Amino acid sequence: MTTDRIMIDCETLGTDPGATIVSIGAVAFDADGPGDEFRAAVSPTSCQRHGLSIDAETLEWWLTQDAAAREQLRGGTDLETALEDLTMFVADADEIWANSPAFDCAILGAAYDAVGLTTPWAYYETRDYRTLSDLAIAPRIGHEGTDHDALDDARHQARVAAETLRRIDAVGAEVSDE
């Protein structure tokens, strides 16, 4: 699938830029729906080595989630490697979508800074899934998979965004035909 749109979601141990990241999910999408996927489990220890923090309240919240969601706390690859792989995945995308960029993109941007890498998108390329999903034209599609799993959340958001944008394009085409 060739697309210029990527939906990103990350799961963290805090809510502010500079928080430890435990997983990153991303899905390429277009009007036909989701396409290629990216998943990275990230080592919290690696995040701490790069100066990212853990918020105790957020950690306590994670411990109340179901077992499938808590699996993300097991760790994974080095933060720098995960971000390098994400950079390769987003490549030349023109739109980076998140729920919301003020959270996901800001946290990822701080992580890129922490490891000395350049964030692979510019501020003007970010798009807000939350705003799009609140439109009256947005479909109500049930979430499949595990809540608070970065890739499952990104898949769901990509499905809703793709269908909403398809509907908006159809309305635009009708208006231009009039």
SS3 state at 42? strand
Q: Which fold has domain 5-177?
A: Nucleotidyltransferase; domain 5 (3.30.420)
Domain boundaries, the chain: 5-177
**pLDDT computed for residue 178 by the predictor:** 62
Predicted pLDDT of residue 15 = 96
pLDDT in tens, the chain (178 residues): 445 999 999 999 999 999 999 999 999 999 888 999 999 999 999 999 999 999 999 999 999 999 999 998 998 999 999 999 999 999 889 999 999 899 999 999 999 999 999 999 999 999 999 999 999 888 888 899 999 999 999 999 999 999 999 898 888 666 666 6
Residue type, 15: T
Distances (CA, A) of 73 to 23, 115, 141, 143, 168: 8, 21, 27, 21, 38
Tokens of 165: 């944008």
Can you give the pLDDT at residue 2? 45
Q: Is the pTM of this model over 0.75?
A: yes
Q: Sheet containing 126-128: which strands, arranged edge to edge?
A: 33-41, 21-30, 5-12, 95-98, 126-128
Are residues 14 and 48 in contact, defined by beta-carbon separation less than 8 angstroms?
Answer: no
DSSP-assigned beta bridge partners for residue 26: 8, 38
Among all chains, which residue has been given the structure tokens 């990822």? Answer: 108
- DSSP of 2-29, one letter per residue? --SEEEEEEEESSSSTTBPEEEEEEEEE
